[in-house]
Chain A
Amino acid sequence: MIRFSEVYKRYPNQHEALSGLSFELDKGEMAFLTGHSGAGKSTLLKLIALIERSSHGQVWVNNQNLTRLTKWKVPYYRRKIGLVFQDHNLLHDRTVFDNVALPLIIAGENHREIGRRVRAALDKVGLLGKERSLPIALSGGEQQRVGIARAVVNRPPVLLADEPTGNLDPDLSQEIMHLFEQFNQVGVTVFIASHDLELINRMSHRQIKLNQGRLA
């Protein structure tokens, strides 16, 4: 599903964040991305989401060569990738419902389908009662779950998460990780960057460890 082949990423300041990275993730696999701070975890996920482009080497996602993808096709590609961030990236002047509906509105879904799918996604993350709330009125864990609902609402085959539990206490973190496992169980390829080794080690999934932009 995701394949890196001799990938280098050099930022404009000449810092090399990834150096000749190669690995592969199967369809339906769930994996954790670990490594020290500055190892290149966020950079790697940004290459998959096409927020950054590789300086060298090829990145393949869902049999698509990202190096060849033109700028105009990027939005349509991103609709097939669910993204979850540590700081949620929610729109604070819109309700929970509107936040989760955003990817569907962008894709041009009709009104009824949007309502149906948004409620299904909110139901899955246990926030069905908070549709009309503003994100400000929610706890950190709840905000993160809104972010997850938004990431999965258009049923992407790939779900990426960058430190999704970074700001949460251990119980909430466990809960969020369990949520990701549930999506994985219905066939979604899940790739999560995390520092939380204690939590990760308790779960039996593959770990990809980075060190200075290389596989450790």
Chain B
Amino acid sequence: MLKLNLHNYFLRHLQVMLYSLGQLWRTPAATTMTVLVIGIALALPAGLYVLLKNVEQVSSQWEEASQISLFLHHDTPDQRGKQLAEQLLTWPDINTVHYQSAKDSLAEFRQLSGLDSLLDTLPDNPLPPVIIIQPEAGQHENEALHSLLDRLQSMQEVELAKLDMEWLQRLRSINEAGERGISILAILLSLSVLLVIGNTIRLAILNRQTEIRVIKLVGGTNAFVRRPFLYTGFWYGLLGGAIAWLTLLLTLLFISGPVNRLAALYDSQFTLNWLGGQMFIALPLFGLVLGVLGAWLAVGRHLNEIEPT
């Protein structure tokens, strides 16, 4: 008996679900417009999110390329410097070292700055010898890197061990700001999706006032009246989410050519990852939840106003 009732229950829901879809099918123009509005509103934050995730991925690749500059004391002789460099090369967490004497540093600076005459007036070379260290790949996690940095800093000949990562940290801050911006945008656009669906359902309710009155007259509960509208919201959200996914796919397909060429120019392994699988689940699901919620809010407000007279 219970099994039969349950079976009936699902059958009825399925019927209402298909009935609602049929209703939408009967007004293709209006349905298409609503679904497109929802799709675009969902695609925008999703697209920005995908771009952000890609930037994060790139920057994590670059993080491996971070290097440490070891400024030695002024009076360290070249011989000692070279020795130190060779010694460092044996450390397991160091990949490559490059020793640059104070003279080399000055020559490089001369070339880069063009301040020849000024430098000539100086009594001694103001630049220290430097060892440039490339940490072993896999040592780029913050903690390991900082432990390496500490050990280097504590060496006698070292004046200053400096991690060249400031630009990376800047990029991270920008990313973080971008993430927050996208969150706010996503919230605002979700709200507008809610309003669009709510308003569409409201109009549908007003269009079917007579029907609602008759249903209530012959004993229809609020839940019964509500059900087809909830499924209408369900379909709007689901279809809107699917449209958003398609929009995302086409947009990223459109920009992936130039982006991948750009990456190749930088000799990067990077290819645009559009998170297709993740978005294929997330967008329709999110749309569906917004759709049902928007419909629920709209129906809740108007259902009690429509009573038989």
Binding site for B on A (CB under 8 A): 49, 51, 75-79, 83, 89-91, 102-103, 105-108, 110-111, 150
* Contact for A106 among B213, B219, B307, B309, CB less than 8 A: B219
A91 to B217, CA, bound (A): 12
Contacts of B307 in A (CB 8 A): 51
- Are B214 and A108 in contact, with the CB atoms below 8 A? no
B residues 220-255 touching A (CB-CB < 8 Å): 220-222, 224
Q: 16 A-B residue contacts at CB 8 Å?
A: A51-B217, A51-B308, A75-B219, A75-B224, A76-B221, A77-B219, A78-B218, A79-B219, A83-B217, A89-B217, A102-B215, A106-B215, A106-B220, A106-B224, A108-B12, A150-B218
- Are A51 and B309 in contact, with the CB atoms below 8 A? yes
Binding site for A on B (CB under 8 A): 4, 8-9, 11-12, 210-211, 213-222, 224, 307-309
* Contact for B211 among A91, A105, A110, CB less than 8 A: A91
Contacts of A51 in B (CB 8 A): 217, 307-309
> Which of A75, A77, A79, A106 has the most B CB atoms < 10 Å from its CB?
A75
- Are A76 and B8 in contact, with the CB atoms below 8 A? no
Tell me the minimal C-beta distance from A41 to chain B in angstroms. 15
**Pairs A-B, 5 closest by C-beta atoms:** A79-B219, A78-B219, A103-B218, A75-B221, A106-B220
Which residue from chain A places its CB closest to the CB of B211 in the assembled complex?
A: A91
Instruction: With A51-B217, A83-B218, A103-B219 given, name 13 new contacts (CB 8 A).
Output: A51-B308, A75-B222, A76-B219, A76-B221, A78-B219, A79-B219, A89-B213, A89-B217, A102-B218, A106-B215, A106-B219, A106-B220, A108-B12
Tell me the minimal C-beta distance from A189 to chain B in angstroms. 18
Tell me the minimal C-beta distance from B117 to chain A in angstroms. 94
- Are B8 and A79 in contact, with the CB atoms below 8 A? no
Tell me the minimal C-beta distance from B206 to chain A in angstroms. 16
* Contact for B218 among A106, A110, A111, CB less than 8 A: A106
- Are A75 and B8 in contact, with the CB atoms below 8 A? no
Q: With contacts A51-B309, A110-B8 known, is A79 near B211, CB below 8 A? A: no
Which residue from chain B places its CB closest to the CB of A150 in the assembled complex?
A: B218
- Are B214 and A75 in contact, with the CB atoms below 8 A? no
Q: With contacts A91-B211, A91-B214, A102-B215 known, is A75 near B220, CB below 8 A? A: yes
Which residue from chain A places its CB closest to the CB of B217 in the assembled complex?
A: A83
Which residue from chain B places its CB closest to the CB of A85 in the assembled complex?
A: B217
Which residue from chain A places its CB closest to the CB of B16 in the assembled complex?
A: A105
Tell me the minimal C-beta distance from B104 to chain A in angstroms. 88
A78 to B214, CA, bound (A): 12
A90 to B217, CA, bound (A): 11
- Are B309 and A108 in contact, with the CB atoms below 8 A? no
Contacts of B220 in A (CB 8 A): 75, 106
Contacts of A105 in B (CB 8 A): 12
- Are A78 and B215 in contact, with the CB atoms below 8 A? no
Which residue from chain A places its CB closest to the CB of B26 in the assembled complex?
A: A93
A199 to B43, CA, bound (A): 68
Contacts of B12 in A (CB 8 A): 105, 108
> Which of B8, B210, B219 has the most A CB atoms < 10 Å from its CB?
B219
Contacts of B219 in A (CB 8 A): 75-79, 103, 106-107
Contacts of A89 in B (CB 8 A): 213-214, 217
Contacts of A90 in B (CB 8 A): 214
Contacts of B308 in A (CB 8 A): 51
Tell me the minimal C-beta distance from B34 to chain A in angstroms. 21
Contacts of A83 in B (CB 8 A): 217-218
A79 to B8, CA, bound (A): 19
Tell me the minimal C-beta distance from B309 to chain A in angstroms. 7
Tell me the minimal C-beta distance from B232 to chain A in angstroms. 16
Which residue from chain B places its CB closest to the CB of A93 in the assembled complex?
A: B211
- Are B218 and A79 in contact, with the CB atoms below 8 A? yes
Tell me the minimal C-beta distance from A18 to chain B in angstroms. 17
A113 to B218, CA, bound (A): 18
Contacts of B217 in A (CB 8 A): 49, 51, 78, 83, 89
A106 to B220, CA, bound (A): 6
* Contact for A75 among B210, B213, B216, B309, CB less than 8 A: B216
Tell me the minimal C-beta distance from A154 to chain B in angstroms. 8
A102 to B220, CA, bound (A): 9
A79 to B218, CA, bound (A): 6
A107 to B9, CA, bound (A): 11
Which residue from chain B places its CB closest to the CB of A80 in the assembled complex?
A: B219
Contacts of A79 in B (CB 8 A): 218-219
A102 to B215, CA, bound (A): 8
Tell me the minimal C-beta distance from B222 to chain A in angstroms. 8
